[in-house]
Amino acid sequence: MARFLITGSTDGLGRATAETLLDDGHDVVVHARSAPRADAVADLTGRGADLVVVDLADREAVLAAARGLDAGPPIDGVVHNAGVLSGPAVIPVNVVAPYLFTALLGSPTRHVYLSSGMHRGGSARLAGVDWSGTSATNSYSDSKLFVTTLAAAVAARWPGVQANAVDPGWVPTKMGGAGASDDLELGHRTQERLISDPAATSSGGYWFHDRQRDPHPAVLDAGFQDELLRALEDATGVALPVRPPRGR
Protein backbone atom coordinates (compact mmCIF):
# COMPACT_ATOMS: atom_id res chain seq x y z
CA MET A 1 0.00 0.00 0.00
CA ALA A 2 1.04 3.62 -0.55
CA ARG A 3 0.87 6.93 1.30
CA PHE A 4 -1.06 9.86 -0.20
CA LEU A 5 -1.63 13.52 0.65
CA ILE A 6 -5.06 14.92 -0.26
CA THR A 7 -5.39 18.68 0.09
CA GLY A 8 -8.77 20.19 0.85
CA SER A 9 -10.08 16.97 2.35
CA THR A 10 -12.57 18.22 4.92
CA ASP A 11 -15.52 18.00 2.52
CA GLY A 12 -16.63 17.43 -1.06
CA LEU A 13 -14.37 15.71 -3.57
CA GLY A 14 -11.30 15.84 -1.36
CA ARG A 15 -13.00 14.09 1.52
CA ALA A 16 -14.51 11.47 -0.82
CA THR A 17 -11.07 10.82 -2.33
CA ALA A 18 -9.40 10.53 1.07
CA GLU A 19 -12.11 8.23 2.38
CA THR A 20 -11.92 5.92 -0.64
CA LEU A 21 -8.14 5.63 -0.48
CA LEU A 22 -8.33 4.94 3.24
CA ASP A 23 -10.99 2.28 2.61
CA ASP A 24 -8.65 0.69 0.07
CA GLY A 25 -5.98 0.26 2.74
CA HIS A 26 -3.67 3.14 1.85
CA ASP A 27 -2.06 5.51 4.31
CA VAL A 28 -3.62 8.93 3.90
CA VAL A 29 -2.67 12.43 5.02
CA VAL A 30 -5.77 14.61 5.18
CA HIS A 31 -5.61 18.39 5.12
CA ALA A 32 -7.68 21.04 6.89
CA ARG A 33 -7.42 24.81 6.55
CA SER A 34 -7.68 25.41 10.31
CA ALA A 35 -7.96 23.55 13.61
CA PRO A 36 -11.78 24.02 13.77
CA ARG A 37 -12.10 22.63 10.23
CA ALA A 38 -10.10 19.57 11.27
CA ASP A 39 -13.16 18.40 13.24
CA ALA A 40 -14.69 17.45 9.87
CA VAL A 41 -12.08 14.71 9.38
CA ALA A 42 -11.99 13.45 12.96
CA ASP A 43 -13.57 10.18 11.83
CA LEU A 44 -10.79 9.70 9.26
CA THR A 45 -7.98 10.50 11.67
CA GLY A 46 -9.70 8.15 14.10
CA ARG A 47 -9.23 5.42 11.49
CA GLY A 48 -5.54 6.14 11.15
CA ALA A 49 -5.29 9.04 8.70
CA ASP A 50 -2.63 11.63 9.51
CA LEU A 51 -3.56 15.31 9.55
CA VAL A 52 -1.86 18.46 8.33
CA VAL A 53 -3.43 21.81 9.22
CA VAL A 54 -2.38 24.70 7.01
CA ASP A 55 -4.06 27.70 5.41
CA LEU A 56 -3.04 27.38 1.76
CA ALA A 57 -3.50 31.12 1.26
CA ASP A 58 -0.62 31.73 3.71
CA ARG A 59 2.58 31.18 1.74
CA GLU A 60 4.89 30.95 4.76
CA ALA A 61 2.57 28.37 6.32
CA VAL A 62 2.56 26.36 3.09
CA LEU A 63 6.37 26.44 2.94
CA ALA A 64 6.59 25.23 6.54
CA ALA A 65 3.99 22.50 5.97
CA ALA A 66 5.69 21.24 2.80
CA ARG A 67 9.08 21.08 4.48
CA GLY A 68 7.58 19.36 7.52
CA LEU A 69 5.86 16.75 5.37
CA ASP A 70 9.03 16.20 3.37
CA ALA A 71 10.91 15.44 6.59
CA GLY A 72 8.33 12.82 7.60
CA PRO A 73 7.36 9.43 6.17
CA PRO A 74 7.65 9.37 2.35
CA ILE A 75 4.55 10.43 0.43
CA ASP A 76 3.96 8.49 -2.78
CA GLY A 77 1.40 10.78 -4.38
CA VAL A 78 -0.49 14.04 -3.95
CA VAL A 79 -4.00 14.95 -5.03
CA HIS A 80 -3.96 18.75 -5.22
CA ASN A 81 -7.66 19.09 -4.59
CA ALA A 82 -8.04 22.25 -2.49
CA GLY A 83 -9.50 25.26 -4.25
CA VAL A 84 -11.45 28.46 -3.83
CA LEU A 85 -13.86 30.00 -6.29
CA SER A 86 -13.23 33.72 -5.96
CA GLY A 87 -11.38 36.47 -4.13
CA PRO A 88 -7.71 37.26 -3.48
CA ALA A 89 -6.96 33.66 -2.39
CA VAL A 90 -7.74 32.17 -5.82
CA ILE A 91 -4.15 32.31 -7.08
CA PRO A 92 -2.37 31.38 -3.81
CA VAL A 93 -4.66 28.41 -3.07
CA ASN A 94 -5.38 27.12 -6.56
CA VAL A 95 -1.94 27.61 -8.12
CA VAL A 96 0.87 28.64 -5.75
CA ALA A 97 0.20 26.01 -3.07
CA PRO A 98 0.15 23.10 -5.58
CA TYR A 99 3.36 24.44 -7.10
CA LEU A 100 5.12 24.63 -3.72
CA PHE A 101 4.01 21.15 -2.66
CA THR A 102 5.23 19.81 -6.01
CA ALA A 103 8.59 21.56 -5.81
CA LEU A 104 9.32 20.86 -2.15
CA LEU A 105 8.04 17.32 -1.57
CA GLY A 106 10.86 15.07 -2.69
CA SER A 107 9.22 11.65 -2.61
CA PRO A 108 5.93 11.71 -4.60
CA THR A 109 6.05 10.04 -7.98
CA ARG A 110 2.41 10.82 -8.77
CA HIS A 111 0.62 14.15 -8.77
CA VAL A 112 -3.00 14.83 -9.67
CA TYR A 113 -4.10 18.46 -10.01
CA LEU A 114 -7.79 19.36 -9.89
CA SER A 115 -8.72 21.32 -12.98
CA SER A 116 -12.09 22.41 -14.36
CA GLY A 117 -13.79 22.71 -17.70
CA MET A 118 -13.78 26.43 -16.92
CA HIS A 119 -10.01 26.47 -17.56
CA ARG A 120 -10.83 26.84 -21.25
CA GLY A 121 -12.17 30.32 -20.49
CA GLY A 122 -8.98 31.36 -18.72
CA SER A 123 -6.47 33.88 -20.01
CA ALA A 124 -2.95 32.67 -20.82
CA ARG A 125 -1.52 35.98 -19.69
CA LEU A 126 0.75 36.23 -16.65
CA ALA A 127 1.43 39.95 -16.62
CA GLY A 128 -0.21 41.55 -13.61
CA VAL A 129 -0.92 38.33 -11.70
CA ASP A 130 -0.76 38.89 -7.93
CA TRP A 131 0.81 35.63 -6.78
CA SER A 132 0.77 36.79 -3.15
CA GLY A 133 -3.01 37.11 -2.91
CA THR A 134 -2.94 40.70 -1.73
CA SER A 135 -5.46 41.57 -4.42
CA ALA A 136 -7.88 39.66 -6.64
CA THR A 137 -6.24 39.97 -10.05
CA ASN A 138 -7.45 36.76 -11.67
CA SER A 139 -10.52 34.62 -12.12
CA TYR A 140 -11.15 31.02 -11.14
CA SER A 141 -10.89 30.13 -14.85
CA ASP A 142 -7.43 31.72 -15.03
CA SER A 143 -6.30 29.77 -11.97
CA LYS A 144 -7.47 26.48 -13.42
CA LEU A 145 -5.72 27.20 -16.72
CA PHE A 146 -2.52 27.86 -14.77
CA VAL A 147 -2.72 24.71 -12.64
CA THR A 148 -3.59 22.56 -15.66
CA THR A 149 -0.50 23.98 -17.36
CA LEU A 150 1.51 23.20 -14.22
CA ALA A 151 0.46 19.55 -14.49
CA ALA A 152 1.60 19.40 -18.11
CA ALA A 153 4.85 21.18 -17.28
CA VAL A 154 5.69 18.74 -14.49
CA ALA A 155 4.92 15.77 -16.76
CA ALA A 156 7.16 17.17 -19.50
CA ARG A 157 10.10 17.92 -17.21
CA TRP A 158 9.98 14.93 -14.88
CA PRO A 159 9.75 11.75 -16.99
CA GLY A 160 9.92 9.61 -13.86
CA VAL A 161 6.81 11.23 -12.40
CA GLN A 162 3.18 10.85 -13.44
CA ALA A 163 1.43 14.21 -13.40
CA ASN A 164 -2.12 14.65 -14.64
CA ALA A 165 -4.94 17.17 -14.44
CA VAL A 166 -8.51 16.06 -13.74
CA ASP A 167 -11.73 17.92 -14.44
CA PRO A 168 -14.22 16.46 -11.93
CA GLY A 169 -17.19 18.04 -13.66
CA TRP A 170 -19.83 20.32 -12.18
CA VAL A 171 -20.62 18.30 -9.10
CA PRO A 172 -22.92 19.03 -6.12
CA THR A 173 -20.30 20.05 -3.56
CA LYS A 174 -20.16 23.18 -1.42
CA MET A 175 -18.37 24.92 -4.28
CA GLY A 176 -20.49 23.43 -7.07
CA GLY A 177 -23.82 24.01 -5.36
CA ALA A 178 -26.87 21.81 -4.98
CA GLY A 179 -27.96 22.43 -8.58
CA ALA A 180 -24.81 20.93 -10.13
CA SER A 181 -25.65 18.40 -12.83
CA ASP A 182 -22.67 16.00 -12.84
CA ASP A 183 -22.24 12.77 -10.89
CA LEU A 184 -20.45 13.25 -7.56
CA GLU A 185 -19.18 9.67 -7.59
CA LEU A 186 -17.63 10.04 -11.05
CA GLY A 187 -16.19 13.35 -9.86
CA HIS A 188 -13.61 11.66 -7.66
CA ARG A 189 -13.03 8.24 -9.25
CA THR A 190 -10.55 9.40 -11.91
CA GLN A 191 -8.13 11.03 -9.49
CA GLU A 192 -8.29 7.98 -7.22
CA ARG A 193 -7.35 5.69 -10.11
CA LEU A 194 -4.56 7.92 -11.41
CA ILE A 195 -2.99 8.29 -7.98
CA SER A 196 -3.26 4.71 -6.72
CA ASP A 197 -3.62 2.18 -9.56
CA PRO A 198 -0.24 0.67 -10.56
CA ALA A 199 -1.69 0.08 -14.03
CA ALA A 200 -2.30 3.83 -14.49
CA THR A 201 0.78 4.94 -16.40
CA SER A 202 -0.47 8.06 -18.19
CA SER A 203 1.26 11.37 -17.60
CA GLY A 204 0.56 14.82 -18.95
CA GLY A 205 -3.12 14.12 -19.54
CA TYR A 206 -6.19 16.25 -18.99
CA TRP A 207 -8.96 13.93 -17.81
CA PHE A 208 -12.73 14.08 -17.48
CA HIS A 209 -14.61 11.07 -16.10
CA ASP A 210 -11.77 8.66 -16.87
CA ARG A 211 -11.26 9.81 -20.44
CA GLN A 212 -8.59 12.08 -21.79
CA ARG A 213 -9.78 15.31 -23.36
CA ASP A 214 -8.10 18.17 -25.19
CA PRO A 215 -7.21 21.05 -22.88
CA HIS A 216 -6.86 24.74 -23.68
CA PRO A 217 -4.06 25.01 -26.31
CA ALA A 218 -1.87 27.03 -23.92
CA VAL A 219 -1.60 24.02 -21.60
CA LEU A 220 0.58 22.11 -24.07
CA ASP A 221 2.54 25.18 -25.19
CA ALA A 222 6.12 24.64 -23.95
CA GLY A 223 6.75 28.38 -24.06
CA PHE A 224 3.79 29.12 -21.80
CA GLN A 225 4.82 26.29 -19.47
CA ASP A 226 8.28 27.85 -19.15
CA GLU A 227 6.80 31.29 -18.57
CA LEU A 228 4.52 29.98 -15.83
CA LEU A 229 7.34 28.14 -14.05
CA ARG A 230 9.56 31.23 -14.21
CA ALA A 231 6.79 33.40 -12.79
CA LEU A 232 6.15 30.99 -9.93
CA GLU A 233 9.85 30.70 -9.14
CA ASP A 234 10.26 34.48 -9.18
CA ALA A 235 7.22 34.95 -6.95
CA THR A 236 8.08 32.29 -4.38
CA GLY A 237 11.86 31.98 -4.47
CA VAL A 238 11.38 28.24 -4.97
CA ALA A 239 12.43 26.58 -8.21
CA LEU A 240 11.01 23.38 -9.58
CA PRO A 241 13.95 20.96 -9.24
CA VAL A 242 15.61 19.95 -12.49
CA ARG A 243 15.63 16.28 -11.61
CA PRO A 244 12.50 14.36 -10.61
CA PRO A 245 11.71 13.37 -7.00
CA ARG A 246 13.70 10.60 -5.41
CA GLY A 247 10.78 8.19 -4.86
CA ARG A 248 10.76 5.64 -2.04
**Residue ranges of the domains in the chain?**
3-236
Active site residue 144: yes
For the domain made up of 3-236, give the CATH fold: Rossmann fold (3.40.50)
**pLDDT (0 to 100) of residue 186:** 76
Question: Residue 3: which of 94, 63, 60, 70 has the closest Cα?
Answer: 70
Which residue type, as a one-letter code, is found at position 217?
Answer: P
Exactly one of 113, 144, 174, 206 is catalytic; which is it?
A: 144
Q: Which of 99, 113, 140, 206 is catalytic?
A: 140
- CA–chain centroid gap for 80, Å, is 2
Q: Give pTM, 2 decimals.
A: 0.95
pLDDT at 198: 94
Higher pLDDT, 98 or 181: 98
Mean pLDDT computed over 192-216: 96
pLDDT at 207: 97
Is residue 140 among the annotated active site residues? yes
* More confident: 134 or 188: 134
Indicate the DSSP class of residue 202.
-
For residues 82-110, average pLDDT: 97
Average pLDDT value for residue range 185-213: 93
Percent of the chain with pLDDT over 90: 89
From residue 189, give the alpha-carbon distance in Å to each of 37, 137, 150, 166, 196: 24, 32, 21, 10, 11
